[in-house]
Structure 1
């Protein structure tokens, strides 16, 4: 496993981050997901990740309404806590009714303690706001996060999925008011979803922020498991949602997948490995979040660390798409 530091901090993290959105019951207050895996199938994936040297594990309170955090907590109980970097997030709806979601001081503090209980740990290494909250002043949010750091319950704070101007506003507010500063950003970022290159990625590069991309395979598209004219594989998220590959993906995205498959064939590797390797070649990227449901999927993904892409390869992969940003993408 390769390691790097998270943004401008001294925190050492693996070049791959284990994402755990797939783990748990799938239940949330307003709907039920059917594509998650239970604890029995989740635990071997977490154990295998740690065997590979992955020390960076990401979850969120909203994932299966806390069930993912509980599964992670049970799985890491036997390991040395100081060897792991555990990240979770706050914002999403945890219950219906007042104060059930958002970034108010009350919700953040209540949910931080709830996450600590579910994770079975005394502190969270990286506590992230999952989305921007238009209903709460950013000063209130940052003050609450700062309090958690002062209390020793949180070591670093991060953010996810917002407009570049919002992120810069938060960073500036932290600097002016002397609140704990965000050290990381989780944007959606993949070969077929590069809009963040025109939004928050340049902010991160300028401000020394670690970039931890989510959905690096874009809903499984870059695994190569979908064909334009076929029905989605049984058990896939797309099959559960009742849409077809032709409806879901546009011509430019299919052109990118063609290039991914060609390079994978040339190097005798998989499309998964090429797609993850592309992100690893980006200087601004700290660690893509990978979300395997099985040990085999995880083992395949780890192979991306050994792939070298030439400048010509990268140009071929990027040629079909000209990144454009819109607030509608959030």
Structure 2
């Protein structure tokens, strides 16, 4: 979610900039919004809630997705994610991970910030220190409480996801309906196990960062954007693993875009949409970007274009953020 507080990360838009963009997106038919409690210390959720109230948007016209796992600092600050995943110390004890207590507390806080219920609660990452049975029981119970309609998951190993689904099946509990994983033209490791498993079992795919933190949306040599200089994750997730193959793929995205007379982002989005059951999550920071993304739905890649974009891919090591 690109909306929240620029104090959190420099590329994030503040509320006065975000509200007009949310309205424009809604008017363009974009009515499914993904956020997380950890984004901008909860400000992202608050902005969505404020928009719904300000514009009197009927609740049944939008689908709200949020997440829990990471710690949220209610005192106005947040350490790096790596410091908030350890459930210890007087400040973070019981405030991170997927214990029953933290799941319920996180849902209550998110509903308060949003001013409404949650359509899809996603576990932001898997808590490997809490028994899986406890996690699935708690998720089942928050759905039964009425605060949450469905549950989803994000970025873990396929065998771990299958294990959680199996526990839910065994106990007659609610199962995950969606998987938010890392999948784009520069990161295709999920095609080995997770994506086939989800397709086989009817789980929807909503990959994060389909534009590879914006790298697929601009020529390879353009690195003077605000996102490039302020996104703490772009360097570790994308730049530290980049290769000559990545440069060639981005160049081919640019070639296909020019040939079709469209933007590079539309090519990358269309590639994601060409995969069965896949609907990517996008961060949109301007009216032009919103229009570009909305219009990408009508872009169709030929088989030859897809093969041209895919053939140079070189497998990558898995980044910790993908698990």
CA distance in 2, matches of 1:320, 1:79: 45
Q: 1:243 to 1:79 in 2, by over 3 A?
A: closer
> Which residue in 2 is equivalent to 1:256?
249
CA distance in 1, matches of 2:189, 2:229: 22
Indicate which of 41, 45, 60 corresponds to 1:82: 60
Instruction: Write out per-residue CA displacement over residues 183-236 of structure 1, whole angstroms, 9 at most, x where no aligned residue.
Output: 000001111111111231111011110000100000110011540xx6x21422
* Map 1:35-184 → 2, pairs under 5 A: 35-77=11-53, 78-95=56-73, 96-121=91-116, 123-184=117-178
Name the structure where strand makes up a greater proportion of residues: 1
Q: Structure 1 regions of 5+ residues with no counterpart?
A: 1-19
Q: 1:58 to 1:110 in 2, by over 3 A?
A: same
Are residue 233 (structure 1) and residue 233 (structure 2) matched?
A: no
CA contact (8 A) 1:94 1:100 kept: yes
Give the secondary structure class of the aligned counterpart of 2:146. Answer: coil
Instruction: Output the aligned Cα RMSD.
Output: 2.1
CA contact (8 A) 2:183 2:208 kept: yes
Name the structure where helix makes up a greater proportion of residues: 2
Are residue 282 (structure 1) and residue 262 (structure 2) matched?
A: no
CA contact (8 A) 1:41 1:294 kept: no
Post-superposition shift, 1:323? Answer: 4.3
Q: 1:247 to 1:60 in 2, by over 3 A?
A: closer
Post-superposition shift, 1:156? Answer: 0.6
CA distance in 2, matches of 1:74, 1:321: 43
CA contact (8 A) 2:219 2:250 kept: no
* Map 1:180-329 → 2, pairs under 5 A: 180-227=174-221, 232-238=223-229, 249-285=242-278, 287-323=279-315, 326=318, 328=320, 329=322
CA contact (8 A) 2:10 2:227 kept: no
Post-superposition shift, 1:126? Answer: 0.5
Q: Structure 2 regions of 5+ residues with no counterpart?
A: 74-90
How many matched pairs?
301
Post-superposition shift, 1:150? Answer: 1.1
Post-superposition shift, 1:246? Answer: 7.5
Bigger Cα displacement from structure 2, 294-303 vs 270-279 = 294-303
Q: Which has the higher contact order (CA 8 A, sep 6+)?
A: 1
Post-superposition shift, 1:91? Answer: 0.3
CA distance in 1, matches of 2:274, 2:128: 34
TM-score by length of 2: 0.88
